[in-house]
Amino acid sequence: MKKILSFLLLMAVFGAARAEIRLPAIISSKMVLQQNATVKLWGWALPGERVKVTCSWNNSVDSVTTTPNANWFIEIKTPAAGGPYTITLQGWNTIKLDDVLIGEVWLCSGQSNMEYSGNNNLPDIKAELPKAANPKIRFFHIPKTTSTTPQDDVNARWVECDAKSLQSFSAVGYFFGKTLHRELNAPVGLINASWGGTPAETWTPESAVKTDSILSRAAGKLGVSQYWPRDPGYTYNGMIAPLRNFNIAGAIWYQGESNVGTNSSYTKLFSAMINKWREEWKKNFAFYFVQIAPFNYGTDNINGSLLREAQFNTLAVTPNTGMAVVTDLVHNVKDIHPINKHDVGYRLAGLALAKTYNKPVASLPYQYPVYEKMEVVKGKVVVTFKDVPGGLVIKGDTLKEFFVAGADKNFVQATGKVKGNTITLSSPVKEPVAVRFGFTNMGEGNLFSKEGLPATPFRTDNW
């Protein structure tokens, strides 16, 4: 009996010594690695086990020893865009990753307007499906997952873009990635981590919310939902934290509708989320987001506008960010999900091409007219805009969504004439003191840059 027990113990020890290398789901065949960068590969193995890594783009061999906690990571340098390549990892077992591309990697996140896909019968995706096949565009679609603590892996896999994989992938993410691929002539990897209805709190590490009295109080006002998580950090832990070691060029974000009721703290919350993500990645990556579209949010006529204002204010306090305005891309202000997702993706791509890659494209303008100052001249208000390279234009017969008020705070509609980057407003108000543009929940203005982008909604008051 003792001999049998000794033999079983020996076999257990020997089996443990032959523990196999394991990899997280995002490190796999068909993945896209960030080009011209130092990237991490990581995983698990027996403590003390030597893991050798060979990349076919240079055939050099690097190695690392697994820690006592049974994990390991190694940094490797990637070349310029290209592939396919192989990566071979060897310890007690050997893993060979095939069809690895080097290119540009972007994270696509937010709530339903980022999540919306062909499964939601979007016409622009239906039109794309017959021509969707492109082996140089890869998707990594993370399923809806929550956790009370940060996780180190997800249940997902890299796949090539084709009609089947595109059907359920983020439409905004796809049109963004397709445009980058075309303009940069490089493979593109898109990671989709989105969940309809989720507030920004659940995408933000819990500590950033709970240790701030303002953010903690706002989170408490969100209440409970039957359909999506609202607890701070829950989707971050399950869907973002597992990606922290994976090098990305940047992130695109479409969210905010679920925070309309807590708009006063959104600038602080959103900035904290972006900064915490960058801290976890140890990289000040680009972050481009969509300002929420006009929608009927109910009896409070400006709560949605206040959220849009909070998003705009994030640009000033959080560097390396950019915002796409979509006030003109709404088919129905009673539908919180505008069906035009291709132009949203194109506008985000325009920002990335100009600001991240320094390769602006004339057909993809990225500068939205932004309020700069106002002056009262003989009872009229002259409003000056910046970020207007070619001047302003009014689309339609009459100017819409401009309102002027006097000291009585009573706003009345104004008419206007455009000259260069200014617009002169006339109204019944004899002594104007404040101007608002598009500052209602459903406001769809018709003031544009000559390049075709809508002016950013604004107010000059703080009433």
Which pLDDT tens digit goes with each residue over 121-144?
999 999 999 999 999 999 999 999
Q: Are 152 and 24 in contact (CB under 8 A)?
A: yes
Pairing of strands 370-377, 380-386: antiparallel
Q: How many CB atoms lie within 10 A of CB 231?
A: 17
pLDDT band at 300 (very low <50, low <70, confident <90, very high): confident
**Which domain-ending residue is among 323, 356, 389?**
356
Q: Are 51 and 90 in contact (CB under 8 A)?
A: yes
Nearest in space to 235 (alpha carbons), one of 195, 276, 269: 195
Is 95 in the same domain as 108? no
pLDDT band at 413 (very low <50, low <70, confident <90, very high): very high
| DSSP conformational letter for 411 | E
Q: Which regions of 359-399 does DSSP assign to beta strands (E)?
A: 370-377, 380-386, 392-394
Distance between CA atoms of residues 133 and 346, nearest Å: 19
Is 96 in the same domain as 121? no
Residue at 48 is within a domain: yes
pLDDT tens track for 366-410: 999 999 999 999 999 999 999 999 999 999 989 999 999 999 999
Is 109 in the same domain as 82? no
pLDDT band at 25 (very low <50, low <70, confident <90, very high): very high
State whether the Cα torsion 5-7-11-17 is positive or negative: positive
Looking at every residue in the chain, the average pLDDT score rounds to 95
The share of the chain scoring above pLDDT 70, in percent, equals 96
Q: Are 451 and 414 in contact (CB under 8 A)?
A: no
Is 306 in the same domain as 412? no
Radius of gyration of the chain (CA): 25
Residue 11 predicted with pLDDT over 60? no
Residue at 422 is within a domain: yes
The residue written with tokens 């592939």 in the block is 83
Average pLDDT on 229-245 reads 98
Is 316 in the same domain as 195? yes
Is 175 in the same domain as 285? yes
**Which domain-ending residue is among 34, 69, 101?**
101
Is 138 in the same domain as 199? yes
pLDDT tens track for 41-63: 999 999 999 999 999 999 999 99
Residue at 416 is within a domain: yes
Token reading at 403: 């309102």
pLDDT of residue 299: 86
Average pLDDT on 341-350 reads 98
**Which domain-ending residue is among 296, 321, 356?**
356
Is 409 in the same domain as 449? yes
What is the extent of the structural domain holding 83?
20-101
Average pLDDT on 442-462 reads 97
Average pLDDT on 268-275 reads 98
| DSSP conformational letter for 352 | I
Cis peptide before 84 (omega within 30 of 0): yes
Domain containing 59 — which CATH number?
2.60.40.10
pLDDT band at 223 (very low <50, low <70, confident <90, very high): confident
- Distance, C-alpha 298 to centroid of its chain: 27
Residue at 28 is within a domain: yes
Distance between CA atoms of residues 327 and 329, nearest Å: 6
Average pLDDT on 339-350 reads 98
Q: How many CB atoms lie within 10 A of CB 305?
A: 25
Residue at 2 is within a domain: no
Domain containing 348 — which CATH number?
3.40.50.1110
Is 92 in the same domain as 113? no
Is 172 in the same domain as 308? yes
Distance between CA atoms of residues 269 and 216, nearest Å: 10
Is 85 in the same domain as 222? no
Number of domains in the chain: 3
Residue at 15 is within a domain: no
Is 391 in the same domain as 439? yes
Q: Are 322 and 288 in contact (CB under 8 A)?
A: yes
